[in-house]
Structure 1
Amino acid sequence: MNEREFAELAAGAAVHALSAEDEQRYLRALAENPQWQAIADDDADVAALLAAGAPEVAPPASIRAALLDEITRTPQTTTAPEQSGGETRSGGAPRPHRMRMLFALAACLVVLGGLGFGAVAMSGILSPPASVVALQQIESAADAQQASVDLESGGTATAHWSPSLGSVVLVTDGVAEPDPGKTYELWFVRGETPIPAGVFSVDAGAATTQLDGQMQTGDVIAVTVEQDGGSPTGLPTTTPVIVIPTA
């Protein structure tokens, strides 16, 4: 992925509008290219400003009509597939050029209030999930670390953590949905003691989840499959499907 494509994905991430696949591509690219953090920060700042700074105002009908006409006439182009190590990436929505255009249009719509969305109504869309914010904070920390494992059932899981922050975020890709009535539960395994750290679900095999509580040096990050709501006993009831040591 080049810097231009990352910038387009960063615009989508700022308004929480990426598909699960593109969000994983964005997070991986950010982890591999920390020098691009400023791009992500700039887009996040713009999104926050749009969410907080514009009252709901109805523009003249002519402006709204012109804007919608421009949307209709703008060519919906896509970038060429990305080649990496023999693997071809195609598809994914929205694609980069279109996402950058949508980000600009979203700014116009928030300022104009042309479709009846005020700043308060848009704030939920423009605010990134807490887990994504936590991941960005970890990756910005001087002592940021990460470890990945390939899963027997397919897919991968990557733990991102910062000892100074005491924070951990787990990113999964290609992980199967649990059976009906079941959920994934996170654990800090501290010595021989498992400590519950929240539950999570996956969307098309992907998830970005911050663990509840503070990690300690040497903790193992584990995931088990439990009943909805988590283990009723506060202890794992199944063999972990994900185990990631942090030491």
Structure 2
Amino acid sequence: MTTVDLHRMTGAYALHALSDDENAAFERHLPGCEPCAQETAELRATAARLGLAATTAPAVGLREQVLRRITTVRQLPPEVPAQAPPVRPGPRTRALSRWALAACLAAATALGGTTVWQYQRAEDARGQAGRAARVTDEVAAVLSAPDARTRGARLADGATGTVVVSRGLDRAVFAVSGMAHPPGGKVYQLWFDDDGTMRSAGLMDPGRSDQAVLLRGAVDGASGMGVTVEPAGGSERPTSAPLALMSFPG
């Protein structure tokens, strides 16, 4: 295998289409070849753009949401028979009516509480689905922006990361592949690098090795980004040495 052959493998490597031997050879070549590293990062970003443009994943738990919402649909009222002649209630009838009224009120209260709970759950599910859809749209907008610029880097344990920045949208996306799960009770936190001052840019999903994360907030002139390991829920300031520091592409 020649060096020329390795230069031609950036596309296949970005799409995980190399054999084990070819993959190992290309990864030995990659750290010493800046053009291949840049081209690989750009091809991975392009593949992510195409994937987001071509697929729409259903919201998590969509089936359960639909089934829950069925219970909140108002049914048609029963047909009301013709009114019977009024009957003057006796003492026993009045007593039974009071008991029946109390039972109806208790049932209505219980059912009303259940309906409110079900309605709230459905509203929460719709809100979560709406927020997820908005984030997906924003990620796709950054990746497909005409002025999108990418920069890639190798992270710990063989993971690779690519940051995509759109100055026009003032937003950035961090795409990572092969990221190890954080230790128990920890999470990966993203940061904007404002000339040495770190500004929180949100958390990564600790259960996913491959993901594209929309950095929270505007780029706002930041010179780069970083990734640290923080306690679950995140920190106001970094509490550990950065796993990665990446300057934003010009």
Compute the TM-score of the two structures, normalised by the length of structure 1.
0.49
Compute the TM-score of the two structures, normalised by the length of structure 2.
0.49
Higher relative contact order (CA 8 A, sep 6+): 1
Of Structure 1 and Structure 2, the greater helix share is in 2
Give the structure with higher Rg (CA): 2
